[in-house]
Amino acid sequence: MRRMMRWAGGLAVLCGLLAVPALADTRGFDPVAATDAYLASVPPEAKARSDAYFEGGYWLLLWEPLYGLAVAWVLMRFGLSSRMRNLGQRFGGKGFFGTVLYAIQYLVLAALLSFPLTVYTDFVREHQYDLSNQGFGDWFGQLLIELAVTAVMAGLATGVLYAVIRAAPKRWWVWAAGVGVGFLVVALLLGPVFISPLFNEYKPLEPGPIRDKVLSMARANGVPAEHVYMFDASRQSKRISANVSGIFGTLRISLNDNLLNRSTPEEIQMVMAHELGHYVLNHVYEMLLSFSLVLLVGFAFIAWALPRVLARWGKRWGVEEVGDPAGLPVLMALLSLYFLVATPVTNTVVRANEAEADLFGLNASGQPDGFATVALKLGEYRKLAPGPLEEFLLFDHPSGRSRILMGMRWKAEHQAP
């Protein structure tokens, strides 16, 4: 949830400065030159700031799992994990409930040990780059709510995971991937109705020309109006954003209030059409399928690596078999290393869908210049012009330059003859 918010939203400075460059409006223009003209309209200091923010994120990608590894080491080395397991089993027995009680203790203690890094990444850094104006008290309160929700959901998931390991000691990793996806479906089902409202207020769009246009595009593309909402993202962040959340009956599109307050009608149309694209192209289901494969490979890796780690250090830690829940910190550390290595794969899966939604959005809204200016606004927190390899490995959305070029190509092909 926090990670989603982190990647979701912007700086407030640029919007007034972004006039459409003259080149972009001439007949029969060159899309590359038009793209360069848009990029050149960004003041150098704004670009330097956004590059620094985004490149700092590359390091966090590495530091977060390494920090997690250190947390796991502390929990294992000092016998904290096996003590928490004993406590959980004393009150909940050796089966499902004992494991859930252990997992909740683990999640709370791990969150406590990770707190300094969390404060830096999610509060200090966001304020440093002027991406948030949320006070510490409100931020901290929401962090506690998030921890409570995570402890319940992840605690139950861990209980099921270890039941599966005990039931199928050899092939548990296949079933574990299924359990992971099953819990993801539950989280997607509950998210928009029960979880997101704990953090933000969701309302139907207010009547007016913007809503008329958005709902008209929704109808034109077969999306029922009751699936379109607005929420007060400005509580946490200054970023402009919108998203699709939920699954089956709870699937919905949400526009954030920063987008509505800081963007032109053309920009809002384009962003909204992009989100309609996610909806119409069934990206939620496609992502679920892709993610289940990523998870399957991840658990296969753990099934290979965890017994080897435990054979080497397990005795010292008081954990000797894979089915012992006290090995959870090691399992989680291995999983985070796997996700680090898999970053280019998961990024590319997401980025490919984003590019599809962009093209859908251009065709549905017919707003290539709105797309270009909104891509520059998103460039407040996402590096605008990375190298090709950098974009391939580290971007989970197309870069600003890729998006503007896509828009300008579309525009070139839609010039009056």
- Least distance in angstroms from the C-beta of 202 to Zn ion: 18
| Shortest Cβ 274–Zn ion spacing (Å) | 6
The smaller minimum CB distance to Zn ion, of residues 118 and 347, is found at 347
Stretch that binds Zn ion, among 8-16, 176-184, 204-212, 350-358 (CB under 5 A): 350-358
Q: Which range in 17-25, 114-122, 144-152, 349-357 contacts Zn ion by CB under 5 A?
A: 349-357
- Contact string 355-394 vs Zn ion (x = CB under 5 A): --x-------------------------------------
Q: Which of residues 87-146 bind Zn ion (CB under 5 A)?
A: none
Q: Which stretch binds Zn ion (CB under 5 A): 163-171, 285-293, 346-354, 377-385?
A: 346-354
Cβ proximity to Zn ion: between 134 and 241 the closer is: 241
Instruction: For the CB of residue 217, give the shortest distance to Zn ion in the complex, in Å.
Output: 15
In the complex, the smallest distance separating the C-beta of residue 371 from Zn ion, rounded to whole angstroms, is 12
Q: Return d(Cα 371, Cα 405) in angstroms, integer.
A: 10
Q: Candidates 96-104, 205-213, 354-362, 370-378: pick the segment binding Zn ion (CB under 5 A).
A: 354-362
Neighbours of 273 (CB within 10 A): 27
The stretch near Zn ion (CB under 5 A) out of 38-46, 52-60, 101-109, 353-361 is 353-361
Report, in Å, the least distance between residue 191 CB and Zn ion. Answer: 16
- Residue span binding Zn ion (CB under 5 A) among the ranges 17-25, 144-152, 352-360, 404-412: 352-360
Strand partners, 245: 252
How many other CB atoms are found less than 10 A from the CB of residue 246?
Answer: 20
Whichever of 15 and 357 has its CB closer to Zn ion, that residue is 357
Nearest to 396 by CA among 335, 343, 357: 343
| Distance in Å, CB of 280 to Zn ion, minimum | 12
Give every CB contact of residue 361 below 8 A, 6+ residues apart in sequence.
270, 271, 272, 273, 274, 275, 276, 277, 371
Token pair 């985004």 is found at 54
CB of 332 to Zn ion, least distance (A): 28
H or E segment at 229?
A: strand 228-231
In the numeric block, which tokens belong to residue 247? 């699954």
Nearest to Zn ion of 100, 272 (CB atom): 272
Angstrom distances, CA of residue 23 to CA of 19, 28, 233, 315, 408: 11, 10, 35, 70, 11
Which residue, 134 or 367, is less far from Zn ion as judged by CB?
367
- CB of 403: closest distance to Zn ion in angstroms? 11
# binding residues, Zn ion (CB under 5 A)? 2
Full strand arrangement of the beta sheet holding 242-245: 202-204, 228-231, 252-256, 242-245
Q: Tokens 């990444």, residue?
A: 121
- The tokens for 331 are 């399992």
- Lookup: tokens for 123: 């509060």
Alpha helices in 191-282, H assignment, sequence order: 209-220, 257-262, 265-280
Are the CB atoms for 395 and 344 separated by under 8 Å? no
Q: What residues line the site for Zn ion (CB under 5 A)?
A: 354, 357
